[in-house]
Structure 1
Amino acid sequence: MTTKHNFGAGPCILPPSVMEQAAKAVINWGDSGLSILEISHRSAEFESVILKTQLLVRELLNVPENYSVLFLQGGASTQFSMIPLNFLVGKQKAAYLDTGYFAQKAIKEATLFGEVTIVASSGDKGYAYVPDNYNLEKDVAYLHLTSNNTIEGTEIFDFPNSSVPVVCDMSSDIFSRKINVRDFDFIYAGAQKNMGPAGMTLVIAKNSFLETVGHPVPAMSDYRIFRDNQSMYNTPPVFSIYVSMLNLIWLKSVGGVEGIEAVNKKKAELLYREIDRSPIFTGTANVAHRSRMNVTFRTNDQLTEPEFLKFATDRGIVGIKGYRTVGGFRVSLYNALPLSSVEFLVQVMYEFAELKKDVNSLKIIKPA
């Protein structure tokens, strides 16, 4: 069987050791004679999983004591409506930074609950950059950001120093780099990028921000109820939380967020270097805002894109086809992806360029 190199944008690649432990737990979790899929979420054993996962999140991201760590369901997309339901209803307006597809989805949902002002948009250039110069009204309920734009391949590296509450969707770069949680009032992230399997959403919320809700909210949409019930108001996504715990233990073992950030930089630098030196490929994102998690590029002659996709797929490279609405290629470099897989992809890109070059006009320099 051909070795697979998984560059898919989500669900995420998981470390082999995590997959092995999770597989064993499906059959017999902790020698209990029960599967992790069938244990009671009210059992003391699973309550310890919830607690340990919360503590790992706090440790790895240095979460202050006045913030709550919640595990919810419905993916990050549910948060697009749940956030304005809690924090926009009854307020004047909320501010959103429009940086691409998922930011637009969040904006669309928010308009169902109140007035939304778009403080800036990079739509004028196909979302190839992140606006960093915009004015923010002081009376808005919150400012919503998307830290990493999975489809467009851009990432925010300098967050605004805001006098209003900052809400941030960190679905695709959570745990990939150091952040200062105190810079945000509310962080949310789908687990299926860098944390674990799909089915669970992480929320890190400042308690004082949660208490600004001044109107009735349905129980399943009330963050305070999940906080007060240790994320177990109803049956939580047991398996997703358990595997996330295993993955965070692995992350801690490889140097934590600081250690993995150094590796992620190397992976991204290697791939962008090949894109920039190649006569065949061109990056699509503004250099200053290039994502380290999702690298987007095209071939100079777009007619050759299906050819390169097949060339790469035949060699075991999986998940690099660009999002259906934008085309091209998208290579996701999530935490568990080894540097060796990026080195292999770069070699395949070089070999493809060798096949396509015109020896009379192009000079191919083999990547270092």
Structure 2
Amino acid sequence: MARDVLSAAPSRSVRLSEAGRARLALILLVLSAGLVVSVLAGIALGPAVVPLGDVVRYLLAALTGGGIGADEVTGYSIVWNVRAPRVLLAAVVGAGLSVVGVAIQALVRNALADPFVLGVSSGASVGATAVVVFGLFASLGVYALSVAAFLGALGATALVYLAARGPLGMTPLRLVLIGVALAYGFQALMSVLVFLSPNGQAARTVLFWLLGSLGSATWQSLPPVTVGVLVTIVLLMRHARALDVLSLGDETAASLGTDAAAVRRGLFLLTAMATGLIVAVSGAIAFVGLVLPHMVRMVVGSSHRRVLAVAPVAGAVFMVWVDLLARTLFAPEELPLGVLTALVGVPVFVVLIRRRGYLFGGGK
């Protein structure tokens, strides 16, 4: 009888594994369908509503080189030149923030970590503020803000990396403390720049950018951040097991043959670059990278391979709808995205904290 029980155990494990894969595939299918619907709704809805049939027809005409009527030029321009790049950028930003949030929570082994905890976004904000206040990189035209923000993010990454290095490498606690401290320093510098600004509207412009906005989205701004986010997702998926091991602590990682210091160093550089690309086109959008990873873990468990598969799609759907609400709730005025993500993220995070049986970073 013991032999029968032992022989039955592997088959039961295989069935459970197959059931888990089927459930994950179903979740991804539902979310992917939801993303397609969300993108079409985001393009169709707005201060000027465009019928869904016309949206599909305009998109097909733009992609295939088809023709449209002379009386449809305005609707076509709204769909293809204004809303389509903005909605797609919202999806990319949501996917990027979500997946980077997953990685950083493993990197620093802290459930409260998000893509901005390492000070990268604050450095990007200093670069963007310098453009708004003093007109730096004016020769770059519409790309001046993004370029300055990305350079600021790179500078912040270098400072955090150099300051966080120690005899034992970059420990999670040292990385978080250095990142938070430098973030406050960058914010103080940004405040000084705004205070010294000769432009009275600078503070309002900087504040709006700091809270997140996709109003400057163009087709030209999509490729760099899209490629960066896709590369980040692929690399993180390839090292999903290392993230699982890293979450267990450095001693456990060493016993399993993983060089925690090397993994942490690579993760830091990868997530910093991805965060810099995202912030450069969208500003600092809070709570997406903090809350979405926890919500996904509640559904699929703590395995980073599953979380990294679902989090980008879930984040993309979430961000598309947040952007749609931002530009329609008080149209023609537009709300900063960070206001809405905070209104959603704060209560969700409180519910997660109070939810019995949920272990942050540890699944259900």
TM-score bracket, normalised by the shorter chain, equals: under 0.3
TM-score with structure 1 setting the length: 0.22
TM-score with structure 2 setting the length: 0.22
More strand as a share of residues: 1
* Greater relative CO (CA pairs within 8 A, separation 6+): 2
More helix as a share of residues: 2
